[in-house]
Amino acid sequence: MAGAAGAAALVFAATVVPAHAVAYGTPTISLSAAYLSGSVGGVGDQTVDVTVGQSGADASALTVSASASSKASVAGTGDVTATGAGAVRRLAVTARGRGYTDLTIKVTGLGGKTATTTLSYAASAAVQNPADARYFSGASDSSAAVDVGGGYAVVADDENNVLRLYDRSRSGAPVRTWDFSGQLGVTKEVDIEGATRIGDTIYWTGSLGNNKDGEYKAPRNTVFTTTVSGSGPGTQLAYGRAYKRLRDDLVAWDAANGNRYGFAAGTAAGQAPKQIDGFNVEGLEFAPGSTSTAYVGFRAPLAPAVPGGKALLVPVANFDKVLASGAAAVFGAGIELDLGGLSVRDIRKNAAGQYLILAGSWAADDNSDPYALYQWDGVPGHGPVKRLDLPTADPGGWEAIVEVPDLSAAGARVQLVTDSGSADLYGDGVEAKDLTHAEWKKARTAWFTLN
């Protein structure tokens, strides 16, 4: 029996296969975006997600780092930080200087195996009060903004008809987008410049003016509505109705009243819109306590159209019906406001009927002329009061008020958005609107404490 047992043991030993080392595959690495924008001194700059994996290995055993930079003066390998421990890591870049660099992002797996991918990074210059600044990426020509609750806002761009949903507190790409060009029956931009919300309806207006070359473009003669459902990141927009004759109605009204504001001349062929006697709408808000009368705010003309002239609002008494049924617009007397020679770039009120007017120049040189915020009560004949002069040293012109805080509260803060389309963000002489990659296009948003 002992001999038989020994023989069995020998047979068993002969059939045992020695253990071999685990065969690890080549790691994989991918980025949620191949292009990223940041800013020198930026707070809360946008990040990208890095997804990694390796056959035969748990993702937690993999490491992610930057292994090379094409221009370390913009951002070097030590300026790249990866956080997280699973298959998806978050990659942040701290900018050293303005410009561009290609960053090689490497994943190191088990068995000493590696893989790389490239992140093309662009850094804009430092701005004043960076702690109060964020960047909405994906577009640069932001022109109107509407709060939709839950810390989010829908932002329009005057170079296209896309409405974008952003987290108001973070730098980042839009959470959701909508393009209503098909429903509007247009292939060119409406040149959206103003917006306001009543209930679940957002009203949007084009500039109604000629293009910069003085040519009439029909899509710009458009006002339309969208219906809001949900809030925060779950916000949805649905197309409502459009009206495409408001410019014509305004010109006819002014002509019937002695051409007081020169609308016919301002819309004539060859007339550029951003002139002191031009025709360009940039603000839209409802009158106090009304859901029918809306104030249309003009960037141009001034009233009268001379340096130091007053800003102009024209009440549309049946604005709700204009959009609901296509009724011809009915106007009230023009409202002329002393904004220190500036005109309306945006106008917005809160639930308490307190108005803020974002005042700027009628001219096209956005980055050099003054900007200011004025408080108003919305009553014709009552004068506005300046609350704050806005800084103009940084790129982009102040263009939109997201929402109006309680203006009677000490330390009230308001969030504004710039149109940065004409800005040279990265020092290469290319205007932001002409950048090749949408991820590098961005508009700055900032909070200001009102005096």
> Token digits for 345?
């770039």
What single-letter amino acid sits at 169? S
For residues 400 and 141, the answer to whether their CB atoms sit within 8 Å is no
What single-letter amino acid sits at 331? F
- What pLDDT shows up at residue 300? 98
d(C-alpha 266, C-alpha 277), whole Å: 6
pLDDT range class, residue 364, cuts 50, 70, 90: confident
Share of the chain above pLDDT 90, in %: 93
d(C-alpha 210, C-alpha 267), whole Å: 6
pLDDT range class, residue 366, cuts 50, 70, 90: low
Q: Vertex 402, ends 347 and 179: CA angle to 5°?
A: 100
Say if residue 1's pLDDT is above 80.
Answer: no
- What pLDDT shows up at residue 451? 84
Mean pLDDT throughout 296-308? 98
pTM: 0.93
- Tens of pLDDT along 21-55? 578 999 999 999 999 999 999 999 999 999 999 99
Mean pLDDT throughout 198-208? 98
Query: Please, what is the average pLDDT of the chain?
Result: 95
Mean pLDDT throughout 275-303? 98
Say if residue 307's pLDDT is above 80.
Answer: yes
Say if residue 67's pLDDT is above 90.
Answer: yes
Mean pLDDT throughout 409-433? 97
Say if residue 443's pLDDT is above 90.
Answer: yes
- Tens of pLDDT along 100-155? 999 999 999 999 999 999 999 999 999 999 999 999 999 999 999 999 999 999 99
- What pLDDT shows up at residue 9? 41
Rg (CA), the chain: 28
What is the per-residue DSSP string for 175-204? SEEEE-HHHHT-SS---EEEEEEETTEEEE
Domains of the chain: 28-124 (2.60.40.10), 130-449 (2.120.10)
Query: pLDDT higher for 196 or 1?
Result: 196
User: How many C-beta atoms surround the C-beta of residue 325 within 10 A?
Assistant: 10
Instruction: Please report, in angstroms and rounded to a whole number, the separation of the first and last CA atoms in the chain.
Output: 102
d(C-alpha 414, C-alpha 390), whole Å: 12
- Tens of pLDDT along 230-274? 999 999 999 999 999 999 999 999 999 999 999 999 999 999 999
For residues 145 and 402, the answer to whether their CB atoms sit within 8 Å is yes
Say if residue 6's pLDDT is above 70.
Answer: no
DSSP state of 258: T
pLDDT range class, residue 365, cuts 50, 70, 90: confident
d(C-alpha 397, C-alpha 216), whole Å: 25
What single-letter amino acid sits at 260? R
Which stretches of 274-329 are DSSP H helices? 319-325
Mean pLDDT throughout 60-64? 97
- Tens of pLDDT along 160-186? 999 999 999 999 999 999 999 999 999
- What pLDDT shows up at residue 15? 43
Say if residue 19's pLDDT is above 60.
Answer: no
pLDDT range class, residue 368, cuts 50, 70, 90: confident
Strand pairing partners for 91?
Answer: 48, 82
Closest CA to 233 of 160, 144, 143, 168: 168
Backbone angles phi, psi at 19, to 5 degrees: -70, 140
For 288-354, strand residue ranges (E) read 294-303, 310-316, 335-337, 343-349
DSSP reduced 3-state for 249: helix
Mean pLDDT throughout 369-378? 97
Mean pLDDT throughout 372-392? 97
- Tens of pLDDT along 402-420? 999 999 999 999 999 999 9
Say if residue 11's pLDDT is above 50.
Answer: no
Mean pLDDT throughout 212-216? 97
